[in-house]
Amino acid sequence: MENNLKKVDIIFEVDEKVTPIDVLDKTLKRAADEIILDLIDSGLKGRGGAGFPTGLKWKFTRNEDSDVKYVICNADEGEPGTFKDREILDRVPEKIFTGIAICGYVVGAKEGYIYLRGEYNFLLKTLQRKLDIFNSQLKERNFDFTVYLKSGSGAYVCGEESALFESMEGKRGEPRNKPPYPTVAGYNSKPTVINNVETLVYTTMICHMGPEKFKALGTNDSRGSKVFSVSGDTPKPGIYELELGMPLHEFVNEFGDGDAKAIQVGGASGHCVPRKKFNDTIIGFEGIPTGGSMMIFNSSRSMYNVLHDYLEFFTEESCGQCTPCRVGCQQLLKGIEAVKRGERPPAYLEDLKKLTATMKIAAKCGLGQSVGNPFNSIVDNFREEIIY
């Protein structure tokens, strides 16, 4: 079978002639509204997983009337199976800094922050050194903007934007009630743009190459490309930038080991796609969206164990404040254990599926809301592995 999988090189591309700071210089000469229009035109959606249109986010924040605004780069890459931001932070941090600074210019912020995952502290020193250079470059240009680094402490939930703000403010990392949304009241209750690492790099690159080139990639609903973290039963695990909107079978042909029985798309909180659905699954916002994690499982893997691991993870990483998530995760975990041991009938899985429906609509944040994704997709497609 012919493989149309298109590899792209935008994120990591290094252009000796046009450096990120050159992009910044060029962009700062443009009107903020024009930059926003370009971003909207490009169709860029957030690369952290939720997929909110980036241009709109910037626009909303720009429109807020406030003396103080913030730009925050969410580098709390905690989704199991996702490791692309680490690579971006390591290889092209200047592109991130530039994206933050451009955003600051557009929305009218004077401070930007990178909230770095606690487990990535080994990057702190290098990042800080490069950041110092970048900040001094901003100073030379009389651009009143500074980027700071903040380190997280390893809680998965702090990747949720409002929990991240709480954490940055020195409080317990627990998601807030919404509304208000970050564009209105984010960090320190001020209007805040919070974007994923990769998203910010794309904003830099769209400012560099124009929206057309970006838009030419992908599909109507999923413009552009995306960096994927490929792991599991694959002969070539790693980081790959691929065009969005690809059919899953093409991905499997490229990366699978010939025996793939399921792909977990989007990390632990994402969906599990079984072999029989590879052909009609699209990776993108019209199909299955992903923050980048693609975990491949071959026939040697127990899907019960996979689900059990995920549920253990969520049970531990729920912040614990809201009932559906705190207790729901435990029920799902103990529930499949009880079914496996024969202490509850297989039909109990239906009760648990109904519970995930409640979690999806009643939990306070995306963590609890998405636990049903892996649960239902694994239970529905690998029911016999869960029961026996």
Partner 1 sequence: MSKYMVNLKINNMPIAVEEGTTILEAARKLNFRIPTLCHHPDLTVAGNCRVCVVEVKGARLLAAACATPVSEGMEVLTNSEKVRVSRKHIVELLLAEHNADCTKCFKNGHCELQDLASEYRIGDHVFLDLVRPESKIQDISSPSIVKDDSKCIRCQRCVRTCAELQGVSALAVVNKGDHQKISTFLNKPMHEVVCTNCGQCINRCPTGALTERNYIEEVWNAIYNPSKFVVVQTAPATRIALGEDLGIPIGNRVTGKMVSALKKLGFNKVLDTDFTADLTIMEEGTELLTRLKKALVDKDPSVVLPMMTSCSPGWIKFQEHMYPDLLDNLSTCKSPQQMFGAVAKTYYADKINIKAQDMIVVSIMPCTAKKFECERPEMRDSGYQDVDFVLTTRELAMMIKQAGIDFDKLEDEHYDSILGESTGAAVIFGATGGVMEAALRTAYEIVTGREVPFTNLNIKPVRGMEGIKEASIKIKNVKQEWSFLEGVDLNVAIAHGLANARALMEKVKSGEAAYHFIEIMGCPGGCLGGGGQPIPTSPEIRKKRAEAIYSEDEEMPIRKSHENPEVTEIYKHFLGEPLGHKSHDLLHTHYKPRKRY
Residues near partner 1 (CB under 8 A) are: 155, 157, 172, 177, 179, 314-324, 326-331, 334-335, 338, 351, 354-355, 357-358, 361-364, 369
Query: What's the closest the beta carbon of residue 156 comes to partner 1, in angstroms?
Result: 9
Question: How is residue 238 written in tokens?
Answer: 């790693």
Question: How is residue 140 written in tokens?
Answer: 């030379």
Query: What's the closest the beta carbon of residue 366 comes to partner 1, in angstroms?
Result: 10
Angle at 162 between CA 157 and CA 166, to 5 degrees: 85
Query: What's the closest the beta carbon of residue 239 comes to partner 1, in angstroms?
Result: 30
Query: What's the closest the beta carbon of residue 316 comes to partner 1, in angstroms?
Result: 4
Rounded Cα distance, 70 and 104, in Å? 7
Instruction: Tally helices (H) and strands (E) across the chain.
Output: 16, 11
For the purposes of burial, counting CB atoms within 10 Å of the CB of 341, is it exposed (0-12), middle (13-18) or buried (19 or more)?
exposed
Query: What's the closest the beta carbon of residue 188 comes to partner 1, in angstroms?
Result: 17
Query: What's the closest the beta carbon of residue 351 comes to partner 1, in angstroms?
Result: 6
Q: Do 205 and 119 meet the contact criterion of CB atoms below 8 Å apart?
A: no
Helix (H) or strand (E) holding 229, with range, is: strand 225-232
Rounded Cα distance, 334 and 116, in Å? 33
Question: How is residue 4 written in tokens?
Answer: 């149309």
Rounded to whole angstroms, what are the CA distances from 229 to 124, 234, 251, 283, 292? Answer: 22, 12, 12, 13, 6
Cβ-based nearer residue to partner 1, 42 or 162: 162
Give me the residues paired with residue 282 across strands. Answer: 247
Q: Any idea which residue has 């969206």 for tokens?
A: 289
Cβ-based nearer residue to partner 1, 205 or 322: 322
**What are the φ/ψ torsions at residue 156 (nearest 5 degrees)?**
-55, -40
Cβ-based nearer residue to partner 1, 66 or 298: 66
Cβ-based nearer residue to partner 1, 38 or 166: 166
Query: What's the closest the beta carbon of residue 126 comes to partner 1, in angstroms?
Result: 30
Query: What's the closest the beta carbon of residue 353 comes to partner 1, in angstroms?
Result: 12
Cβ-based nearer residue to partner 1, 141 or 326: 326
111, amino acid identity: E
Cβ-based nearer residue to partner 1, 130 or 353: 353
Query: What's the closest the beta carbon of residue 26 comes to partner 1, in angstroms?
Result: 39
Cβ-based nearer residue to partner 1, 137 or 356: 356
Rounded Cα distance, 50 and 365, in Å? 12
Cβ-based nearer residue to partner 1, 127 or 371: 371
Cβ-based nearer residue to partner 1, 66 or 330: 330
Rounded Cα distance, 297 and 15, in Å? 37
Rounded Cα distance, 381 and 341, in Å? 20
